[in-house]
Structures are given as C-alpha cells and as structure tokens.
C-alpha cells in the first residue's frame, strides 16, 4: 500500500481511514478511488454513474462548496482551477483549513 492509499479519504461527507476502507464500503475497487482522487470526482464514486449504469430518475448535480484560506469556492473543481492546484494539493489545503481553529 502506498503512502497516499493509507491517508484518510472523505466522500460525500463520510470520512474513511484510507482508500481500502472507502472502496470496500462503497463497493468499488481501490483503483476507482485513486482515479477519482486524481480527477477530483470523489463524490461520484459508488453512485453507478460509470459504464452505462443509470440510476432511476434525473441526476441532479449539486456542487459542494469548499472554503480555503477564508475564501469559499462553488466546488472543489472551481477551487482547483482558481488556485492552480492538483487534487493532492487541494485535499491538503482542505485538511489544513479544517485543522485551523
């Protein structure tokens, strides 16, 4: 297990101790978690939105706001773009923000 795989992961507000726990809980492979982290799409993992699987009813996408350095961004993707961060840098900034009193 690499260092990144043993770090905590938060998906749709649920924190998991590592990628393995998240993958097991959501019924996906660990590589799915890794790819979603790189793409910035963790909140979509385990929803059946891949490989032609459709959920009943309309899919309504609602961005989840994130605050970094006192600035609230509409979504993680917007924060990554505006701050010129990769997913790992963004996740580190979010963790630091949560640790700051």
**Residue 82 pLDDT greater than 70, yes or no:** yes
**Cα dist. 21→6, 24, 31, 55, 100 in Å?**
10, 5, 12, 24, 26
Mean pLDDT of the 61-87 span = 87
Residue 16 in any domain: the answer is yes
Residue 34 in any domain: the answer is yes
Q: Angle at Cα 13 formed by Cα 26 and Cα 90, nearest 5°?
A: 100
**Residue 85 pLDDT greater than 60, yes or no:** yes
**Residue 84 pLDDT greater than 70, yes or no:** yes
**In total, how many domains does the chain have?**
2
Residue 52 in any domain: the answer is no
Question: 12-29 burial, b if ≥16 CB within 10 A, otherwise e?
Answer: eeeebebbeebbeebebe
Domain extent for 88? 66-99
Residue 76 in any domain: the answer is yes
Q: Which two tokens stand for residue 34?
A: 């890794």
Residue 51 in any domain: the answer is no
**Residue 68 pLDDT greater than 50, yes or no:** yes
Residue 71 in any domain: the answer is yes
**Residue 19 pLDDT greater than 70, yes or no:** yes
Q: Are residues 10 and 40 in the same domain?
A: yes
Residue 60 in any domain: the answer is no
Percent of the chain residues topping a pLDDT of 90: 15
Handedness of CA 49, 51, 54, 59 (dihedral sign): positive
* pLDDT band at residue 5 under the 50/70/90 scheme: low
């Amino acid at each position: 297990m690499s260092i990144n795989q043993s770090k905590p992961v938060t998906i749709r507000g649920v924190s998991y101790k590592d990628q393995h726990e998240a993958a097991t809980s959501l019924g996906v492979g660990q590589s799915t978690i890794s790819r979603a982290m790189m793409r910035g799409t963790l909140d979509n993992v385990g929803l059946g939105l891949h490989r032609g699987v459709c959920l009943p009813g309309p899919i309504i996408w609602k961005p989840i706001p994130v605050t970094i350095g006192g600035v609230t961004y509409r979504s993680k993707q917007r924060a990554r773009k505006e701050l010129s961060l990769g997913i790992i840098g963004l996740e580190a900034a979010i963790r630091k923000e949560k640790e700051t009193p």
